[in-house]
Amino acid sequence: MLREYILIALNNLKRRKLRSWLTVIGIVIGISAIVSLTLIAQGTENAVNAAFEEFGTDVILVQGGTAFGPPTPGEYGLKNRDINFFESFGETDIVIPYVYDTQEVEYKSEKKYPIVYAIDTEFWAEFLGRSNFEVERGRNFQDGETGSVIIGWKLNHDYFEKKIDLKSRIKVGGKTFKVIGIYERIGNDADDTSIAMSIDDARKIFAPANKVTGAQIIVKEGVDIEKFAEELEEDYEDYRGDKNFILSTSTAILEQINNILGIIQYVIVGIAGIALIVGAVGIANTMYMSVLERTKEIGIMKSIGATNKAIMTIFLIESAFFGVVGGIIGSIIGILMALGAKYAIEAFSPGLPFLILIDPYVVGGAILFSAIAGILSGILPARAASKLNPVDALRYE
């Protein structure tokens, strides 16, 4: 019997094509906003997770500095004896100390001040494998190599007026270096303008001989990193005698970022939800108008045996139709919008693995949600239609 009522309802909708589509558009806007924003938020989360996966979950980052935040370039908060302490601590596998600072870089008489990173070339492969950086052209450092630099993508493009290329010679802090490698594009200026060199070279130019900015501590396989980090933090604080350092594990940072992303997601989806509510009010409005216009028709149907339930069902099918069709079209548009955003983001930040997965739960949920919104906004008008007195309704012109 439902099939018959659906046919009657569809026939009614067809009679008011323009108004039906305008009502559907109201829902389409709300649902497409919800679907696209949810998928984009999930994509961001995927990108962050992927970046952290690369960094590894067996790494603890220690940075020396003030107690209030991460060190600024040129701040050297860890001493060599601190590095020795980490190396001898429990289940530590390797410790990779690093320094970074902004340095005067000169190329063909033009001077700029980008960030210069430096680590021990012995750990170069280990460091690179855990970073976003990848050498696109040229080669990596060899163990113990000095006098060479690897440059960010932008230096090979438009950072300086004249393009720096492989085998170019640039001056860093007054000393001449040969360019042996160029990174692929990361997508943010800080990374794309950076320069990497060996820590021995850095010590000759800007870094103090017995201090570093921070260190990556890689623990042995199978070690509970959170527990290890906790013990390390406690013992290191005793050893150091102050709390002027930041110790973080990648999992803890990831958790924090995911929490923040989760909140952002709720907020934007909430805002998109308001658009859906506006759409639902549109459905209610259309349905009330429809009841008014079809009062006589309702009277006729009642006079030939339609029960209140039958009338209510027909009207609810109509309002559910607005929700379902709006939900389906909205989901399709939402997916397209999310894919568009993915391509836009990737064009600006090619290194970011921005992964949009068309989550069936998001899409199915959106359509279901939309159908429920349609039915809910149809309940009152449908009730009003079903409660009409047949004699009065028949008299209505």
Partner 1 sequence: MTNPIISLKKVWKIYDMGDSKIYANRNISLDINKNEIVFIVGKSGSGKSTLLNMIGSLDYPSRGKIFLDGINISSLTESDLAQIRGSKIGFVFQSFNLINSMTALENVMLPMTFQEIPVEEKIKRAKKLLNKVDLNHRLNNLPTELSGGERQRVAVARSLANNPEVIIADEPTGNLDTKTGKMIMNLFNEINKEGKTIIIVTHDLDLVKRTSEHKIYKIVDGEIN
Instruction: Give one DSSP letter per residue of 298-349, joined into a string.
Output: HHHHHHTT--HHHHHHHHHHHHHHHHHHHHHHHHHHHHHHHHHHHHHHHHH-
What the block records as the tokens of 310 is: 């039958």
The nearer residue to partner 1, 257 or 394, going by C-beta atoms, is 394
The nearer residue to partner 1, 154 or 302, going by C-beta atoms, is 302
According to DSSP, the β-strands at 148-151 and 175-183 are parallel
The nearer residue to partner 1, 67 or 304, going by C-beta atoms, is 304
Contact 303, 389 (CB under 8 A): no
CB 325, min distance to partner 1, A: 20
Looking up tokens 């949009």 gives: 356
The nearer residue to partner 1, 21 or 89, going by C-beta atoms, is 21
Contact 212, 98 (CB under 8 A): yes
CB 304, min distance to partner 1, A: 4
CB 396, min distance to partner 1, A: 11
The nearer residue to partner 1, 10 or 223, going by C-beta atoms, is 10
Which residues neighbour 88 within 8 Å (Cβ) at sequence distance 6 or greater? none
Instruction: Give one DSSP letter per residue of 218-261, joined into a string.
Output: EEPTT--HHHHHHHHHHHHHHHHSS--EEEEEHHHHHHHHHHHH
CB 379, min distance to partner 1, A: 18
The nearer residue to partner 1, 259 or 307, going by C-beta atoms, is 307
CB 389, min distance to partner 1, A: 8
Residue type, 21: W
CB 8, min distance to partner 1, A: 8
The nearer residue to partner 1, 87 or 297, going by C-beta atoms, is 297
Question: Shortest CA distance to 206 belongs to which of 114, 69, 142?
Answer: 114
CB 341, min distance to partner 1, A: 43
Contact 187, 349 (CB under 8 A): yes
The nearer residue to partner 1, 95 or 311, going by C-beta atoms, is 311
CB 284, min distance to partner 1, A: 23
The nearer residue to partner 1, 28 or 301, going by C-beta atoms, is 301
The nearer residue to partner 1, 234 or 293, going by C-beta atoms, is 293
Looking up tokens 């630099």 gives: 149
Instruction: Give one DSSP letter per residue of 78-125, joined into a string.
Output: EEHHHHHHHHTSTTEEEEEEEEEEE--EEETTEEE--EEEEE-GGGHH
49 phi and psi, to 5 degrees? -60, -40
Residue type, 173: G
CB 26, min distance to partner 1, A: 24
d(CA 172, CA 260): 39
Contact 233, 248 (CB under 8 A): no
CB 288, min distance to partner 1, A: 19
d(CA 215, CA 259): 26
What the block records as the tokens of 60 is: 């603890």
The nearer residue to partner 1, 314 or 371, going by C-beta atoms, is 314
CB 388, min distance to partner 1, A: 11
- Binding residues vs partner 1 (CB under 8 A): 1, 4-5, 8, 11-12, 15, 296-297, 299-310, 389-391, 394
